[in-house]
């Protein structure tokens, strides 16, 4: 793209305008190198007005190499008889600083990295994962009982490890020792109290009536195996279960949400979270949905849509932790966890889980039933019918008479609206003129 086209495009995460050569030029070039690369137009103000650059290009190239230690592509184009310098920077395989400080791009802004950013950045650039680093803890900080339980769980996938081996030997075979020291992964997986060293390694879970009304609030600590079980217990204490009988004696539990999908979501949050971030994993339980958030966005190259595919590339932020969960048969093949959540929800008549990125982290939203206002609109229902479904969700049922009174319509209109809801498999008629919502297992309605 030529200079005119770049100026028309406007500043972005990978394009910046600078009127003259000063420190902000070097900071921006450092940020481009540390992020995704980019282009800087020198001689153009941030509002796109061309002033031109009259400096020596060889001196400019030497100055960039001296201040940043990188080579750039430098070209010149004339616009309105003024020279505009185009400086192109590629993403650097090593961190690039300017006067001892490191910068990154956030949107169209150049910002200095904080210490948490730097720690994460250096790990990423070095190819070393946080969970493989030596821990400040020692073998004495590990819980032998948890290790023994793990070996029993992993007996099919780790037949060469005996339950009678000493802890150090087991950790060594699992790749959880570095120069004789336990790794961060070992501490989180088997520690007696990992939060003594990493206070962020816990789950905050709450039961909410609405976004500001908290009914119950807990912090779950301990090692990751304990956290999975304790979080499941708390969630199960706040959701409903009903029973159906298969044959004469066998009783089947049917929960608001498939428990395997909940467990998969919890494990994913703990395995894939960014442990260099000081935030906790958060779980919020509402009447109609469960919201789970973990620090750390999706790895580069994986999209939100990829998560719904049966197979997608697996890029592990914490491969040591993930491997141990795999050995324990708590996860299946890499890259299948989110698809498993989708499959389990659909099989149980629930909406697909909603995946998103929020506040620097990853969100899984599980809805208790399919009858959200957005879903009902997709079915083509009119406003009366949508309000009627929401009314029945709250009140339990509706009659033809109540429908007429609520919406001021004739008996003929009310009958037609209600009959359409029955045909769609949303309502069922339980008496001559009373209607209730079909439960998830009764409805065979497909997603739109």
Distance between the two ends of the chain, CA-based, in angstroms?
42
Rounded Cα distance between 26 and 60, Å, is 11
pLDDT along the chain (448 residues), means of 10: 90 95 96 94 95 94 94 93 95 88 92 81 80 94 96 92 90 93 97 96 95 93 98 96 73 89 96 93 95 91 84 83 94 79 89 91 91 84 95 91 96 96 92 81 41
Domains and CATH numbers, the chain: 3-126 (3.30.950.30), 130-196 (no CATH), 203-367 (3.30.565.60), 373-437 (1.10.10.10)
Strand 281-285 relative to strand 97-98: parallel, antiparallel, unpaired? unpaired
Q: Which residues, at least 6 apart from 255, have a Cβ–Cβ distance to it below 8 Å?
A: 236, 239, 240, 241
| Residue-wise pLDDT tens digits, 190-226 | 999 999 999 999 999 999 988 889 999 999 999 999 9
Do residues 311 and 332 make contact, with C-beta atoms less than 8 angstroms apart?
A: no
Phi, then psi, of 307 in degrees rounded to 5: -65, -20
């Amino acid at each position: 793209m030529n200079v005119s086209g770049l100026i028309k495009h406007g500043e972005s995460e990978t394009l910046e305008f600078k009127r003259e050569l000063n420190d902000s030029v070097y900071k921006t070039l450092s940020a481009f190198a540390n992020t995704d690369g980019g282009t800087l137009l020198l001689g153009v103000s941030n509002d796109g007005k061309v002033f031109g650059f009259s400096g020596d290009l060889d001196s400019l190239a030497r100055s960039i190499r001296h201040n940043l230690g990188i080579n750039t592509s430098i070209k010149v184009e004339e616009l309105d008889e003024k020279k505009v310098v185009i400086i192109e920077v590629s993403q650097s395989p090593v961190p690039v600083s300017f006067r001892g400080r490191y910068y990154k791009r956030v949107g169209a802004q150049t910002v200095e990295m904080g210490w948490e950013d730097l720690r994460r950045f250096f790990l990423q650039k070095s190819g070393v994962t946080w969970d493989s680093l030596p821990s400040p803890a020692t073998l004495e900080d590990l819980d032998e009982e948890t290790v023994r339980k793990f070996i029993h769980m992993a007996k099919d996938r780790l037949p060469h490890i005996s339950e009678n081996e000493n802890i150090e030997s087991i950790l060594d075979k699992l790749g959880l020792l570095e120069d004789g020291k336990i790794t961060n992964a070992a501490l989180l997986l088997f520690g007696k109290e990992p939060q003594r060293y990493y206070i962020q390694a816990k789950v905050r879970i709450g039961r909410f009536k609405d976004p500001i009304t908290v009914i119950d609030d807990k912090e779950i600590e301990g090692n990751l195996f304990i956290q999975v079980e304790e979080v499941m217990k708390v969630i199960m204490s706040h959701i409903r279960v009903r029973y159906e009988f298969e044959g004469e004696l066998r009783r089947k539990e049917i929960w608001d949400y498939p428990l395997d999908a909940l467990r998969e979501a919890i494990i994913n949050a703990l395995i894939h979270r960014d442990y260099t971030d000081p935030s906790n994993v958060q779980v919020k339980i509402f009447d109609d949905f469960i919201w789970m958030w973990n620090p750390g966005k999706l790895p580069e190259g994986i999209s939100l849509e990829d998560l719904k595919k049966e197979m997608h590339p697996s890029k592990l932020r914490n491969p040591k932790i993930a491997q141990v969960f795999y050995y324990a048969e708590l996860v299946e093949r890499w890259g299948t966890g989110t698809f498993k959540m989708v499959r389990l929800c659909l099989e149980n008549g629930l909406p697909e889980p909603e995946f998103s990125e929020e506040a620097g982290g990853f969100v899984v939203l599980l809805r208790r039933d399919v009858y959200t206002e957005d879903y009902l609109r997709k079915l083509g229902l009119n406003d009366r019918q949508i309000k009627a479904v929401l009314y029945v969700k709250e009140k339990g049922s509706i009659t033809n008479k109540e429908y007429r009174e609520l919406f001021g319509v004739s008996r003929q209109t009310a009958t037609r609206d209600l009959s359409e809801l029955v045909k769609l498999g949303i309502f069922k008629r339980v008496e001559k003129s009373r209607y209730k919502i079909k439960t998830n297992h009764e409805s065979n309605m497909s997603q739109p």
